[in-house]
Structure 1
Amino acid sequence: MKKWLMITAVALLTACSSAENKSYYQLPVAAQAGGQSVASQGNRLLWVEQVAVPDYLAGNGVVYQTSDVQYVIANNNLWASPLDQQLRNTLVANLGSQLPGWVVASQPLGSDQDTLNVNVTNFHGRYDGRVIVSGEWLLNHQGHLIKRPFHLELTQQKDGYDEMVKVLAQGWAQESASIAREISRLP
């Protein structure tokens, strides 16, 4: 009987110690300047229609590239909400704070709106300590299409998924600022 109790206790302890903790990540939104009311922003309208990600990024797991050809999708380091939604929400918030005179939204705003679509092809960490944010965006501005590719490689200063997600967010904020600069130059 004692042997059976000892085996059961060891099995329970082993099961408890092998249970891995899951971590959930949310992209931080860049600090925003004081908000303006919609009425004071004028009539320039921008609808961020979609931010698309490929299938390997669309799952719950944070992606890490382990070699030139191999990617790992984490089982215990997960996105708190779908990555495409996080990217879209942070893009709307960042553009809204960086484009005075514009109303930026994730919903259609009317017939005179500009429409922005972004296709993110890479959003992951890499074995060499680099973080990759790349893709292309397409803006429909008054019936004219403007298409721009983007590719950012940033260096991760510390190890770990926390740092990787922070650097990914930093790269996305940089690309948001780049998009805002292009939009602000439009007639």
Structure 2
Amino acid sequence: MKGLILAAAVLLTACSSTPQTHYYQLPTAQVPATVIATPADGQSVVWVEHVSVPDYLAGNGVVYQASEVQYVIAANNLWASPLDQQLQQTLVSNLGQALPGWLISSKPLGANYDTLNVNVTGFQGRYDGKAVISGEWLLEHQGRVIKHAFNVVLPQSEDGYDALVSTLAQGWKQQADEIAKTLVTIK
């Protein structure tokens, strides 16, 4: 009898499968490397000081909004590195691509620079097949503070986490392009 129970347990264990875990990283723009010891006179410098996310986005799981009030944090579809770090790195890269000749950095450089902080309040897929990127950014420029809210909603081209992450990256790049336009107009 014990042998039959043991065989059944082994068979059931063999039949069950562990869900495969997938890791996601936002793609970054490839900006040509230039070596600059110090910012050149008259060169525009922007320090992307911080990108913050709320607690529900700060975990490892990619977030999906299942209804107006329910959010699901994936257990097997995870960010490869912390989302706030990915958002900061890709923002620096995307701004660098959108603003050739500018020095965009995640560290303060020189004595005269603009400071950009971004508070991301939404970065998830949604039940209607759309990706949502929302929040606000604050730019400190020559003693002035410019504050701008954003809400980008883009349709996903297909189902699945790969498409969701690609759409979120596209929306984040769009927001970087909007920030770049503002930076150009205030210079």
Q: TM-score, normalised by structure 2?
A: 0.92
Unaligned runs of 5+ in 1: none
Closer, same or farther: CA 113–41 of 1 in aligned 2, 3 Å: closer
SS class of match (1:38): coil
1:114-161 Cα deviation digits (max 9, x unpaired): 100000000000000011001100000111111111110000120000
Aligned-partner Cα distance in 2 for 1:140–1:29: 25
Equivalent residue letter for 2:98? Q
Matched, 1:147 2:147: yes
Closer, same or farther: CA 109–144 of 1 in aligned 2, 3 Å: same
SS class of match (2:13): helix
CA contact (8 A) 1:41 1:101 kept: no
Structure-to-structure mapping, 1:8-27, within 5 angstroms:
8-14=9-15, 17-27=16-26
1:2 shift after superposition: 4.8
Identity %: 55
Aligned-partner Cα distance in 1 for 2:180–2:34: 17
Superposed CA RMSD in Å reads: 1.7
CA contact (8 A) 1:30 1:173 kept: no
Closer, same or farther: CA 153–116 of 1 in aligned 2, 3 Å: same
SS class of match (1:178): helix
Equivalent residue letter for 1:7? A
Equivalent residue letter for 2:70? Q
1:43-72 Cα deviation digits (max 9, x unpaired): 321110000000100000000000111000
Structure-to-structure mapping, 1:11-90, within 5 angstroms:
11-14=12-15, 17-32=16-31, 34-38=32-36, 42=40, 43-90=43-90
1:104 shift after superposition: 0.7
CA contact (8 A) 1:41 1:100 kept: no
Corresponding residue of 2:120: 120
Q: Report runs of 4+ in structure 1 exceeding 2 Å deviation.
A: 34-43
Equivalent residue letter for 1:157? S
Aligned-partner Cα distance in 2 for 1:69–1:12: 37
SS class of match (1:116): strand
Aligned pairs, number: 184
Q: TM-score, normalised by structure 1?
A: 0.92
Equivalent residue letter for 2:92? V
CA contact (8 A) 2:39 2:45 kept: no
SS class of match (2:186): coil
Unaligned runs of 5+ in 2: none
